Amino acid sequence: MKIVVGIGNPGKRYAGTRHNVGYRVIEKLAETLDATGARERFGALVQEALADGEKILLVRPLTYVNLSGTAVRRAVDWFRCRVDDLIVICDDMNLPLAGVRVRRSGGTGGHNGLQSIVDHLGTTEFSRIRIGIGSPGPHIDGAEYVLGKFREDSEPFIAQACDEAARAVITWVRQGIDECMNAHNRPLGPDDAPEPGDDSER
């Protein structure tokens, strides 16, 4: 079994915000893989799917970003999942808009959701896919920025990045993290995407 976690905040208030790109990738995967309907379990919305006979658990924690690790730990413990069978998808202010970065493990980069998962699992040795949301620039608070929505002209690029991240998850399931990194790392984003720092609301 593989566990795929998309970090985000629950509720209509946060739908479409920068912090919720992880949720968007889970929704795309659920559609692509014809997953079961979502149900509440482990403090998360959970769906099940199959890819080449491999069972996949799609998880959207309902505990808000800062407490994401609670639901992840419960799911990992219930299914006795190894950490190398876990991948986490989140936003990243340190990447240019619509960049996609796949890593086998690593630090949290200041992301509170990743930090919560590290704290609950006691390790950084799980794979993650980060989606660039651009920088807020020097005059906008980071916490305010991640809870804002993308500009209309940025949306097509974010949609492409979420599609790429969903494809990366499927590659990870089928071929492992090395092939996933080789095939899907796009740390700089599309050439025609808005520049980092340009994505603040106007």
Report if residue 198 sits inside a domain: no
In a domain, 92, yes or no: yes
Write out pLDDT tens, residues 102-124. Answer: 999 999 999 999 999 999 999 99
Residue 201 lies in a domain: no
Structure confidence at residue 197 (pLDDT): 53
Catalytic residue among 19, 111, 120, 184: 19
120 catalytic? Reply is no
Q: How many CB atoms lie within 10 A of CB 143?
A: 10
The pLDDT, as a whole number, for residue 188 is: 86
Output the six-digit token pair for 116. Answer: 């919560």
Phi, psi of 84 (to 5 degrees): -80, 0
pLDDT under 70: residue ranges of the chain: 195-202
Q: Looking at residue 106, which CATH number applies to its domain?
A: 3.40.50.1470
Does any domain span residue 197?
no
Q: Is residue 177 part of a domain?
A: yes
Q: Is residue 196 part of a domain?
A: no
Burial label, 182 (beta-carbon count in 10 A; 0-12, 13-18, 19+): exposed
* 118 lies in some domain: yes
Report residue 187: phi and psi, to 5°.
-65, -20
CA 51 to chain centroid: 19
How many CA atoms does the CB half-sphere of 23 hold within 13 Å?
23
pLDDT of residue 201: 44
**pLDDT at residue 199, as a whole number:** 46
* Number of folded domains that form the chain: 1
Residue 121's domain spans which residues?
2-184
Does a structural domain hold residue 26?
A: yes
Residue 98 three-state SS: coil
pTM for the model stands at 0.94
Looking at residue 74, its pLDDT comes to 98
